[in-house]
Each structure stands twice: as structure tokens, then as C-alpha cells.
């Protein structure tokens, strides 16, 4: 018989200062078809020791501190306090659909599981939102290549502990590295189409540029020397591959052209970030 005092699932969410979006996530989690006593919500304050502002928490949620910078360090801190047999990762700006947890942790072969991330446009999208929509977070494509984003990823706690968790030193790309490390150990990663989270499109240049800098920092500052050299050299080439992908997408032609133009503008941001990092600058945190 199941112990009703111990949840089956631990939902882990890192937060760095953007507490204004947490209540919307909590409302989405409150609308899950899974009974509230079946899962706990661990919100990890990655700005500790600074205390978070007052947040109205449901009974199955708590806030944990993490003084080590970086979202992957925060996810590890949440996993260390988790009680569920499933560790489910998402982000504070995601909106899980009602059947998300049921689908993501249902009867399937044991292993890592990922669900789709659907981008949501604002009512009057600008160029930045259009770019974010076209670029998207193509989880099915990622899974086909052996990794998934932590915006929508479930890992059995036993497997997570065997693998030693995420690489806490990474500022970006720690989800891909973790999934590939799991694959080398023989753990399967599968896509669960019904386990959907929605993600609002970014609507300003600053958010897009910050993400571009953070991703570039993860590419040229983490992993083996060979990997860092590869990404440094690849960053110097125009983003033609991404442009072809955007132009071949099913979106309206105007959207595709806008996305291609924004991508080339972001290439300039990436080049500047590579130069800054090579000069000894610190990688952006999440």
C-alpha cells in the first residue's frame, strides 16, 4: 500500500529572482489531474542567501535555498531534498497542461522521459516573439538526437543519483550533457507526446540576447578542450544552418523571414560574447 505521506513525484523548479512568474506556474500545477498529495513542488531559490519575496504556496510546495550560482546547481539542490521516486524538472516560466504529470510518469519503460514544449505567442507578436516561436524548443528533435531540455524532463530518482546529477558548473547545456551521459550508461530517453508544457515567447531583445550569451558561454566554457575549440570555431561561421531550418518551417513566410533576420542579428551578439569570454569574462548565469 502506498504511503500517503510520501509523494510519488517531486517537481523541481529553479528560480533566479523572477518570482513574479512563479504563481502562474503554481496555478498550472494546482490544475493537474494527478491528486495534489501525489506530488510535491520544490522551488529552489538560486539567489540565496537573499530571501525570496512572499509567495502564496500550496500545501505540497516549499522553497529551498541554493547559494551556488547556476540553474543546474539549483536543480541538484532540489533533487537532494526530493522525496519522490520521480524527479520532474520544469522552469518557472512554463505552464504544464492539466494531464502533464499523469502522462509524463505513467506506465512506460523505466528511463528518462521528455514532453513537448509548445511556444505561445502574445496577442500582438513583435519580431522578437516571432523569432522565439519559429526557433521554438523542438523537444522531439532533441530527443531524436539523444537529449532533452529541462523545461520538460522526468528522471527516476534512482537513475539521477546513479549518474551523480547535473554538472553544477555548467551555466547552459547541462540538460543535454546529462541526457547524453545517461545514454552512455544505457538509460533510454523517450518522448511522451501528451506531457505538454506551454512556454511564452520572449518579447524583447534583451531576453533573446541574454539567452544567446548564456548558451554561448555553456558551449565555449564547458566540457573538454576539444569541444570548447569546436564551438569557438563554429561560432565564427554565419548561422546558415539555423536559417535554412527557419525558412523550411511551417510558419507563414513573413514569420520565417523575420526569424532569419533576428538570427543574424543574434550572431553578432554571439561573436561579441565569444570575444569577451576568450578575454577572461565570466559566463552568464541563468
| Distance (Å, whole) CA 276 – CA 270 | 10
Same domain assignment for residues 100 and 34: yes
* pLDDT (tens digit per residue) in 57-86: 999 999 999 999 999 999 999 999 999 999
Percent of the chain's residues with pLDDT above 90? 84
Percent of the chain's residues with pLDDT above 70? 97
CB count within 10 Å of CB 145 equals: 12
In a domain, 1, yes or no: no
In a domain, 195, yes or no: yes
Q: Which cell numbers in the block locate residue 135?
A: 526557433
In a domain, 2, yes or no: no
Q: Please, which residues have CB within 8 angstroms of residue 248's CB and are 6 or more apart in sequence?
A: none
Rounded average pLDDT over 248-271: 97
Q: Pairing between strand 197-200 and 95-96?
A: antiparallel
| Distance (Å, whole) CA 262 – CA 166 | 31
Same domain assignment for residues 96 and 230: no
* pLDDT (tens digit per residue) in 84-140: 999 999 999 999 999 999 999 987 778 999 999 999 999 999 999 999 999 999 999
Q: Which residues of 110-124 are buried (b: 16+ CB within 10 A; e: fewer)?
A: ebbbbbbbbbeeeee
Indicate the pLDDT class of residue 48, thresholds 50, 70 and 90. confident
In a domain, 3, yes or no: no
Count of the separate structural domains present in the chain: 2
Same domain assignment for residues 103 and 186: yes
* pLDDT (tens digit per residue) in 217-247: 888 888 889 989 999 999 999 999 999 999 9
Strand partners, 200: 120
Same domain assignment for residues 236 and 185: no
H or E element that contains 152 = strand 152-156
CATH code for the domain in which residue 78 is found: 3.90.550.10
C-alpha closest to that of 74 among 84, 63, 66: 66
Amino acid at each position: 500500500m502506498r504511503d500517503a505521506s510520501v509523494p510519488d513525484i517531486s517537481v523541481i523548479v529553479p528560480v533566479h529572482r523572477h518570482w513574479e512568474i512563479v504563481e502562474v506556474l503554481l496555478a498550472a500545477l494546482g490544475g493537474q489531474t494527478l491528486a495534489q498529495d501525489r506530488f510535491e513542488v520544490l522551488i529552489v531559490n538560486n539567489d540565496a542567501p537573499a530571501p525570496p519575496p512572499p509567495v502564496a504556496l500550496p500545501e505540497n510546495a516549499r522553497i529551498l535555498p541554493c547559494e551556488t550560482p547556476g540553474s543546474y546547481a539549483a536543480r541538484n539542490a532540489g533533487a537532494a531534498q526530493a522525496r519522490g521516486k520521480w524527479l520532474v524538472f520544469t522552469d518557472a516560466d512554463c505552464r504544464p497542461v492539466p494531464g502533464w504529470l499523469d502522462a509524463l510518469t505513467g506506465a512506460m519503460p523505466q528511463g528518462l522521459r521528455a514532453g513537448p514544449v509548445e511556444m505561445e505567442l502574445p496577442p500582438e507578436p513583435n519580431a522578437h516573439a516571432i523569432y522565439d516561436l519559429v526557433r521554438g524548443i523542438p523537444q522531439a528533435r532533441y530527443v531524436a538526437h539523444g537529449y532533452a531540455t529541462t523545461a520538460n524532463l522526468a528522471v527516476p530518482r534512482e537513475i539521477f543519483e546513479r549518474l551523480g546529477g547535473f554538472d553544477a558548473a555548467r551555466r547552459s547545456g547541462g540538460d543535454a550533457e546529462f541526457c547524453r551521459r545517461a545514454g552512455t550508461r544505457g538509460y533510454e530517453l523517450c518522448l511522451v507526446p501528451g506531457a505538454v508544457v506551454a512556454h511564452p515567447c520572449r518579447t524583447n531583445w534583451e531576453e533573446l540576447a541574454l539567452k544567446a550569451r548564456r548558451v554561448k558561454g555553456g558551449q565555449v566554457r564547458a566540457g573538454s578542450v576539444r569541444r570548447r575549440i569546436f564551438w569557438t570555431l563554429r561560432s565564427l561561421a554565419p548561422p546558415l544552418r539555423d536559417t535554412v531550418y527557419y525558412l523550411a518551417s511551417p510558419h507563414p513566410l513573413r514569420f520565417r523571414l523575420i526569424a532569419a533576420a533576428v538570427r543574424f542579428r543574434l550572431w553578432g551578439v554571439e561573436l561579441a560574447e565569444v570575444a569577451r569570454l576568450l578575454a577572461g569574462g565570466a559566463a552568464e548565469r541563468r
